[in-house]
Structure 1
Amino acid sequence: MKKPHFMEQSFKLIPVLFLALSISFFVSCDKADTDQKDPEAKLLTAGQTPARSTSGLTSKTTSSFGDIGNGVNLQPSYYNGGNCDLGWNLMKQNTKIKTVRIEVEPGQETNAKRWISEAKSNGFLVIVTYHKSSVLGSDSTAELNAAATWWKNNYSSLGGNFVINLINEWGSHNISPAAFAAAYNTAITEVRKVYSGTIIIDIPGWGQETATAACAVKGCSTGQTKINDTKIILSAHIYPGAYNQAKGRYMNTSDIDDLASSGRPCMIGEFGNSGGSGADWSGIVDYAKNKGWTILGWAWDGDGGSMNMITPQFQAYTSGNPKTYTTSSYFSVVYNKL
């Protein structure tokens, strides 16, 4: 995601400081870019045989920490200098939320350590994402390697025992399967120096290029470079403007099957109802969930726009004095899907 997501066709709004810049950037993008955003789901009905891991179509999304339950995203880095009360009391009352994906901007390590610790102590499975707002959709291998180095330097000090989502939305709509695979092979090697667990990989094109990601794993041309590490989960991000450039169209449910053809576990790492139009975000999310994939809604709080499940926006943290939040009108959009 971005700084409050403007929607990488993730469409989440960026903090006021970056709004003018973001508007000028997105106006200049081509249609594919402007139309991008931006586990515990059930298996098929009783009596049906779940697909094997070679297809992934009906496999639960599982990690080295067990099955990943459905849940929500949090983006606290851009509010109160990151010193945010995350609303755990209200979250715990809504028991369909099993997993939290916390996005961390580099420089927020001290606050992030508390966020992660609180999430664990409140009983949630935790996914932590390196989220550098200025490089979303980038094909820069230097930026991907910087994320890998950040994990090598910070995984242990952040408390460990959580699932790593290596970087949020790295890779453009234009990146090739071979280039995507080669870049991730290098980055994953670095992360493996400190972490042996499952690594979540956001697929390219702001989480929308399913065919590119699948080919990066299984290879679709003779001698093509493939992602070597098998302990990975591929993560798609689904919004109304989700656009699959490789297919020349907005995303649909066939893209879920495309991604599953990689043979790796898959998930919907973000979904929401704002940002563009053309894709049936709701139908795609339901389809993925019915295949057993984890789905994570955007966002519990921190969107910067209309996609916040609670209100007010993140309040300042005070030890021993939890803040009061209430559910917003958007809450049911996400929660009813979980």
Structure 2
Amino acid sequence: MFGRLRAQERGALARFDAANARARAVRIALLAEIAASVIDWRTLAAREREIRNDLASAEELARLAGVRERAGIAPGFDRVRAEGSAAGSRSRLVALESERARLLGRLVTLTAQGGAQVRAALAQENPAALDPPPPATLPSVLLANRPDVIAAAADLAAADAALAAAARRRFPVFDLSGAIGLLAFGIGDVFDNESLVGSLAGSIAGPLLDFGRIAAEIDGAAAGKRAAFEAYRGAVYTALGDAEAAYGVVATADAEAAAAAREAAALQRAARLANARFEAGLADFLTVLDARRAADASGERAAAAQGRARRARVLLWQALGGGTLR
């Protein structure tokens, strides 16, 4: 009569909503980890291509230095230095294998699939990856999407319902009970209408002397509501901070990727120009080797920076609660 059962039902529904939101948060975190691992795998493939290009260039320099050494027009030191550059590229290739094994094991754990299945999925043709600009998201959209904010709001609603239910325990409780049965003195009278008997009774009970127990429960429920409100406010500020940080990370990662790409293009062009000048007799072999050494790993750095930019978008997607960034 006084709404205690309705308040308890409202609290149960709010707790159910909070559990669903937390389950969604776990799914989003799992998808983000899988996406980041796949991006790292693709980035490793791009880095490997760049390193193999560096290795091919270094081996060509070593071959040319060997030819000049055998012709007696260059010292053996040029060949040794060129071979050392090629050996450095080979060691970088070997180092990638340990990273690839670590990523494969992580994907096996995250996807609950075998290593062969994961490798087959990763071996599928990779479409040209696009890096979309970060979406313009309002705080209201952010608060509506973040599972932790939704869960905190549901916890606050459940705490409010618990306080309402505790406050209504001050009022009396009305009970209405009834019973129906059979009263027969013979087998033949069992199905007789006059054998049906019933009773209907009502009762009322109220807290006369509770020695402060109900007041203490109300105070405890009120404290729980205040704690739930503080937790909700903390979740809101955490969500806003995560989104702000994620937007900043995307911006800086994009700037780093663009700068790394420009650096790689400039160093590769310098290496080609040095080689052309060497073939024309306008530069010595040391100049070519130094230009090649500067260009080495620039492509790998650019590929790694591009991978970080794509990973930053996964972080932004997770910070926005999932489902917003495409």
TM-score (norm: length of structure 2) = 0.20
Normalized per residue, which structure has more helix? 2
Q: Which has the higher contact order (CA 8 A, sep 6+)?
A: 2
